[in-house]
Structure 1
């Protein structure tokens, strides 16, 4: 492609190394993207509260598409621009279906207020049996009724005896296209968003704000939750460490996230 007019990147397994930091080489490449006047957008499954530390390492203060497309966050202004969530009735219905599809599962919800951290909103609540693969210092254990009793940007479903791929297949077979089911880790966790909410839908909104068409966007990713974005962008780049589903839809495969794969591609133009 010609030099892209917008650059978008997933975070974990793509932009960050094993130390969960942006390397100097990758940060330099991002700096040159900014210097050229080209927008650089973080597109992640992470909630807004986990974005500022990444943004600081990457040297970016623009937009971040968070929670797999459910939230648009303005990093520099620390402002949630918009969010698309699941209401309590939908959450309760989903939990009932998932109990049948995934016996023994446990649930949690991610919530967001007006800022990355909002004193009026408990950002992450989970029932006692839920085990989060990455841990969470804000994790608060509550009853299932409390988990499902408030609007949420994402429903997380864990199972200690299944892989994420197995869970996604079982859940999708019952839920169909009523919601978006995806995963960013194969450690027994699936993530459920409102229908038609994906990284692609969130990134498309950002691109429209900059007057950039999909054909002029380059996007980097590594997991199934990146597939819609990699397919939508004019040039989708999968990391060498990517899940097969991401590799299958990518226009190009770069080096792994520990070998500056994002920088290797960006250095062609910036």
Structure 2
């Protein structure tokens, strides 16, 4: 069986990818900052990274942080992968990174370009936001009696387990370059999604759309982060909420 390294293998997506690959009988190494024996800070690189990639055939790169450092992390990973003779690098990105001038999206796009120019066999999958990310956002803004959300913005959340299934499929296949985007089954206004969250959690809040300024906001309003033509996901937001909150 294949030896596969999953970066960010303890995260929301990486954990599921790791579980699925191991269930298929593959040897999986989990790389994260705090998980032995491959506890590595990718932003710093170092000897631990070389040991983690030695003998690896495929890397699934799930590690990412909105706080920055993704480009440095990818550069270190790619350098180590080239030296180790890794055959295939699979990267998970975000729908709209080339259309929405948002800082984190720009960083993800820069990593895509590093992967494409790495000299390795590569595959890049872009997905829309996971359901749990929306729940995190809604939980934060629901702390006050009024729930403010960017006016005129919709979203198309996708079930993370479905993205994990697709990444496993890609990791076990040949390098495929940029593959079709993966998006959730429904494009919904943020207000509609927020009300579903409030119903599932038994809360009462006034949902208010707040107009914002800036190029990134205009791009989100224009749907730059959506992919209705790639609505291949099956799990809905309400189904996710029912499982998570039991309502």
Using the size of structure 2 for normalisation, the TM-score is 0.33
Larger proportion of helix: 2
Tell me which structure has the larger Cα radius of gyration. Answer: 2
